[in-house]
A = this chain, B = another copy of it.
Amino acid sequence: MSKDDENKGYSGVQTKVDWPSATLENLHPADAADHLEQLPVEERVEVLKGYSIDEAAETISEMERYDRVELMTHLPPEASADILEVMSPDDAADILIELSDDVRTNILRYIEAEDAETIADLLKFDPETAGGVMNTEILVLDQSLTADQAISLIRSEVEHSEIPYYAYVVDERRHLMGVISLREIILSRPGRVLKDFLKDQNLIYVTYEVDKEVVARLISRYNLLALPVVDHEQRILGVVTVDDVIDIIHDEASADMQSMVGAGSDETVDSPWTYSFRKRIPWLTMNLLNSAIAAWVVHLFEGTISEMAILAALMPIVANQAGNTGHQALAVMIRQLALERFDRRKVFMAVVREVKIGIATGTIIALVTFAAVMWLTRNLGLAAVMSAALCADMILGAVSGASIPLILRSLGRDPAQASSIFLTTLTDSAGFFFFLGLAGLFLI
Q: Which residues of A contact B (CB under 8 A)?
A: 26, 28, 30, 38, 154-155, 158, 163, 165, 182-183, 186-187, 202, 219-223, 225, 242-243, 245-247, 249-250, 252-254, 256-258, 260-263, 267-269, 273, 276-277, 280-281, 283-285, 287-288, 291-292, 294-296, 298-299, 302-303, 305-306, 309-317, 319-321, 323-325, 327-328, 330-336, 338-339, 345-346, 349-350, 353-354, 356-357, 360-361, 364-365, 368-369, 372, 420-421, 424, 428, 432
Contact = CB atoms under 8 A, between A and B. Distances in A.
24 contacts: A30-B221, A30-B222, A155-B187, A182-B183, A242-B243, A246-B246, A261-B331, A262-B324, A262-B328, A263-B328, A273-B356, A276-B328, A276-B332, A277-B357, A281-B361, A288-B365, A291-B320, A298-B313, A302-B312, A305-B305, A306-B306, A309-B312, A312-B312, A316-B428
Which of A253, A269, A277, A364 is packed against the most chain B CB atoms within 10 Å? Answer: A269
B291 A317 contact: yes
A314 B295 contact: yes
A315 B298 CA distance: 10
A297 to B, nearest CB: 8
A202 B26 CA distance: 7
A351 to B, nearest CB: 9
Given A222-B28, A324-B262, A257 B331 contact: yes
A421 B305 contact: no
A291 B269 contact: no
Nearest to A166: B165
A292 to B, nearest CB: 7
A357 B327 contact: no
A165 B187 contact: no
B187 A158 contact: yes
